[in-house]
Each structure stands twice: as structure tokens, then as C-alpha cells.
Amino acid sequence: MRFNLDSTLSEVLYGSQKRQSEIDFFDYCMNGDIRAFFDYTLVKYHAQKGNKLALSIVACVESYMAQVYTALQKSDNRKLIQLLSCLNENKHTKIGYAVSKNGNGVGKILSNSMMDNLLFMRDAMNKGNYSYLSIPLAIEGISNDRSSDILTAISLSVLIKYTEELAVINGWKTKQVLIKRMYNPESGDFQQYKANLPIAGLATPICYPKVFINSSSNINSIFNSLKRRVFMDYIRYDITFMAYWTKNRNYVTKKQFKEIMKSSGKSFKEYLRQHIVNQYAIIDKLEYNLNNIRVPSDEDLEFLQYCRVLKSA
């Protein structure tokens, strides 16, 4: 059967395109990169409701963050380099903004500021902030796409097992593929693994459970809500801004804070980092207040199927 440039993954695997409501995995156009992202807030939201896949992903993330913390405490630079350099974009996934066939390690993105970010992560964890959310919320240069890549790399073992099980259930033809770097949450390191991935034309895709996929605008909305909570609960009462207080108001207003950021040349993330390393478990507390986030519908996900990333000339 021949497919065109608008063929989706489900069309290639089943022979005809499925509605998103008919399948458990996220369906997408096979041609080009798709503006959809693997979202940790949705993972945590479903984990809190007992979703087994979400709980497995959270276990991977918690294991990885514990390994980073231990390496930082021991000044084990060799372990740190291994943990960071293996966070590569995977060529078997199509969501987000692909860079190259082999992916691009997050260590390269952090470049010269990497050590500062590692020190921040250590200090944040010393204050009880073990949550993965401290990475996209507080570290500069970590976009929704990069966060999605990092989360994929950390939880690849869960995604591969999910895909292998789908292939067996649906009777898809598979091909054995060597995954060179797959994080093992039990051993705390990256290992090689021979995965039996479905054959979809020339691709051997790794599937994402649809319940963990989100749009950039929705992720930004969630993060903005979390940032507002941090501002309302912590930043506005910072005594650093006491000069802006009045007799009847012992806090800085949002408008004043925006002016402060503009005049200081500092971003919100910079102020957030200061509070994360000085206040106990700010980010971890946010994780337990995700009940009101908007969860994408099947119709939303079908819209994302064809939201391609435009390539620059």
C-alpha cells in the first residue's frame, strides 16, 4: 500500500487512518516534525490518579534526579557527564523539533552555563526540590521541545515497552533495533537495548501514550499558572522589594515586579531560582496542585497531528 505525505502513523500501521478516540497512542503525520510535546505535568497529573504508565515514568524521573543529586554531592563529574550527554533526542520519535538523525544532547544546549545549572540543581535538591519541573521552570534555554526530549530520554524504557506491547496486541510487523542509550531506573545508568519496534514504512517509531501529549500553548498556560502561584505565595513578599511596600500593603504588586524585572534585566526564571534555593520544596509542592490543569481532548490531539514545524530555508 502506498502512502502520501499526509499519511499518519495509524494509517501506515493499520492500513487506514484511525480516529484519535479509537487508539491509545498519539497519532501524527509521518512527514516532518510535529508541534506536539511529551508533557511532564500531564504525566504527573495522571500519576496522581493512579495511571500505571504515568507512575512508571515518574519512577524513571525520580531515579534519574536521584542519580544527578548523588553525583553532584560526590562531585562525580564523570557520572554527571554521562547522565547529561545521554539525554539525546531520539530518531525513533517524531514529535517536537528534530535537529538531526542522531539527535542532540542537552549538554550541548546548556554549553557554557552547564556548571551553573548543575550547581543550581544541587542547591535546589538540597532544599527538597527534586521535581523534574525545576528543569523547565527554572533553567534558561529549556523550552517545551527540549523538556520533551529530556523527558523522553529519561523514560525511554517505559515508552519502548509500551510500543512493544502495542505491536504484539495489534499484530504489527516489527524490526529489532539497537537503542544505544536507554535509561535503566533500577541501575541508575544508560544501557543498550534491542527493541522490537513496529515497521511503519521506512520508520521504526516509538509510540507515546496520547494522554501525555500536549500543545505548546497549553503547556505555556500551565507553566504561567504555576509561575503565578510562585509569585503570589513567595516572590511578592520578598523583603528585597520592601521599598515598594506601602503602609497598608506589605508586598510588591505584579505591575511593580514587571518594572523591577525590566530595570534589573533579570528574567522571571532568575528570580524563581533564588527562591527555589532558599525556600523548602517550592516546586515539589506545585506538583501536588495539578488537579485543575486542562487535559487535551481527542479532538485537540487530532488538530496537532498536522501542526508541522516549518523549516527555515
Sign, Cα dihedral of 92, 98, 101, 103: negative
Distance CA 161, CA 214 (A): 21
pLDDT number for residue 136: 87
Q: For residue 139, name the pLDDT band (cuts at 50, 70, 90).
A: confident
Distance CA 277, CA 122 (A): 9
Distance CA 217, CA 309 (A): 14
Of 96-110, 169-183, 222-236, the range with the lowest mean pLDDT is 96-110
Q: Is the confidence at residue 256, as pLDDT, over 90?
A: yes
How buried is residue 178: exposed, middle or buried, by Cβ count under 10 Å (0-12/13-18/19+)? exposed
For 91, the grid coordinates are: 530518531
Output the DSSP codes for 118-141. Answer: HHHHHHHHHTT---TTHHHHHSTT
In sequence order, the 6+-apart residues with CB closer than 8 A to the CB of 125 are 65, 68, 69, 72
Higher pLDDT, 273 or 174: 174
pLDDT number for residue 102: 43
Of 183-197, 236-250, 295-309, the range with the lowest mean pLDDT is 295-309
Alpha-helical regions (H) of the chain: 9-14, 40-47, 52-73, 77-85, 106-110, 114-126, 134-138, 144-154, 156-170, 216-233, 254-264, 268-276, 282-287, 298-304
pLDDT number for residue 116: 62
Q: Is the confidence at residue 87, as pLDDT, over 70?
A: yes
Average pLDDT, the chain: 87
Q: Is the confidence at residue 114, as pLDDT, over 90?
A: no
Of 16-20, 25-29, 133-137, 293-297, the range with the lowest mean pLDDT is 133-137
Is the distance from CB of 89 to CB of 149 less than 8 angstroms?
Answer: yes
pLDDT 10s digits, 282-307? 988 888 878 888 999 999 998 887 65
Is the distance from CB of 36 to CB of 26 less than 8 angstroms?
Answer: yes
Cell 530518531 locates to 91
pLDDT number for residue 99: 47
Please state the pTM of the whole predicted model: 0.89
Distance CA 200, CA 192 (A): 23
Q: Is the confidence at residue 9, as pLDDT, over 60?
A: yes
pLDDT number for residue 187: 94
Task: Output phi, psi for 14, to 5 deg.
Answer: -100, -15
pLDDT number for residue 90: 76
